[in-house]
Chain A
Amino acid sequence: MIPLYPIFFILIAVIAIVFLYFKFRENRISLSSFIVWIILWIFIVIFAIDPDASGVFAAIFGITRGLDFIIIIAIIGLLYLSLKLFLRIENLQQDINKLVRELAIKNEIDLEKDKKD
């Protein structure tokens, strides 16, 4: 009998991939992140159907246990994500700075014009 959780994971993966596909079609995400996410979900499906498969990949990287491999990949993925978020927030900060500074400078010039009139 097939256990229930692989079906559950497959369902989520299919929904996620369809969702990603539409986002990609609307140009909301780049091709590279689209591919990375698809590969990620395919791996999740593979590991859900056959948990022992992770052992094969683990062996390639010289890691003994399959589960360790999954956890290491997950940690690396999360670190990458947080770095990306960090950089994005930094960029947002810079954008806000630009806006706030520009507004301040524009308004000063207007005040000056008022003075001359």
Chain B
Amino acid sequence: MESNFKISDEDKKDIYIVIPAYNEEKRVGKVLEEVASLGYKIVVVNDGSKDDTLNVLLNTQKKYPNNIYVLSHIINRGAGAATRTGLDAALLHNPKYIVTFDADGQHAPGDIEKVCEPLVKGDADAVIGARPFEDMPRSKNFANTVMTYLTQFFYKLKVKDSQTGFRAFTVDAARKLKIEAQGYIISSEFIKEIHRNNLKFEEVTITTIYTPETQAKGTNAVVGIKIMLRMIKQKIFD
């Protein structure tokens, strides 16, 4: 399906990759270099990391000064807040497409092309990179499955993977999204906003690279319960 599709260099210049990074000094450098070497623009947000993440970002920026924009939260505000900062900053550059990407190396930079394909072809305004659940470690698989069902229940959009950090939008779609989340609930909120704005939506299966490090963060049971409570709260108060 995605056989021979190649994004032109012209389009690549207009693709901005938003990467929120919190305590990722060991992995984020490699992720940035891989993505930047493919020719994409990157807006990376250091979310008040306690380790050396910010320095790693700045050093990587020196290698790709035209591709990487570094922003930094003074204090940690959560994955959602950092993603929003990245989105807002990316929008200032007038891109055509915006992609969100995880800093921990769980996504394959080669998939960016795959995720952008429906946007470039005009088949979709919003794309979600779904991780195949079969590949997921069991604990993650369970939490993500439950979250995906809950997202369907609360936000009425059927998705395979609601908790992915890999998403892509056209700039018009990105401008319409009203995201208020602070933490990981942002993944569910994107789904809600895609549904609310009636965006043309597609789901693309992506490769996920699971290492012990990439498993430490993300949606585990506790985060899942927190997200669920927030969704209930939103349902009641909004």
Binding site for B on A (CB under 8 A): 93-94, 96-97, 100-101, 103-105, 107-109, 111-112, 115
Contact = CB atoms under 8 A, between A and B. Distances in A.
Contact of A104 (B73, B92, B182): B73
A7 to B, nearest CB: 45
A100 B75 contact: yes
A104 B45 contact: yes
B182 A97 contact: yes
Given A104-B73, A104-B74, A107-B72, 20 more contacts: A96-B77, A97-B77, A97-B81, A97-B182, A100-B77, A101-B77, A101-B81, A101-B85, A103-B74, A104-B45, A104-B71, A104-B72, A104-B85, A104-B89, A105-B71, A108-B70, A108-B71, A109-B92, A111-B69, A111-B70
B70 A101 contact: no
Interface residues of B, number: 20
Contact of B69 (A94, A96, A112): A112
A102 B74 CA distance: 11
Most buried by B among A104, A109, A112, A115: A104
Contacts of B73: 100-101, 103-104
B88 A115 contact: no
Contacts of B192: none
A2 to B, nearest CB: 50
Contact of A115 (B65, B92, B182): B65
Contacts of A108: 43, 69-71, 89
A35 to B, nearest CB: 26
A94 B85 CA distance: 13
Contacts of B85: 100-101, 104-105
Contacts of A109: 92
Interface in B39-62: 43, 45, 48
Contacts of B65: 115
A107 B182 CA distance: 21
B84 interface: yes
A10 B65 CA distance: 71
Contacts of A103: 73-74
Contacts of A115: 65
Which are the 7 A-B pairs with shortest beta-carbon distances?
A104-B71, A108-B71, A101-B85, A100-B73, A97-B81, A104-B85, A100-B77
A93 B181 CA distance: 11
Contacts of B45: 104
A108 B86 CA distance: 10
Nearest to A98: B81
Most buried by A among B70, B75, B81, B88: B81
Nearest to A96: B77
8 contacts: A96-B77, A97-B81, A100-B75, A101-B77, A103-B74, A104-B85, A105-B85, A107-B71
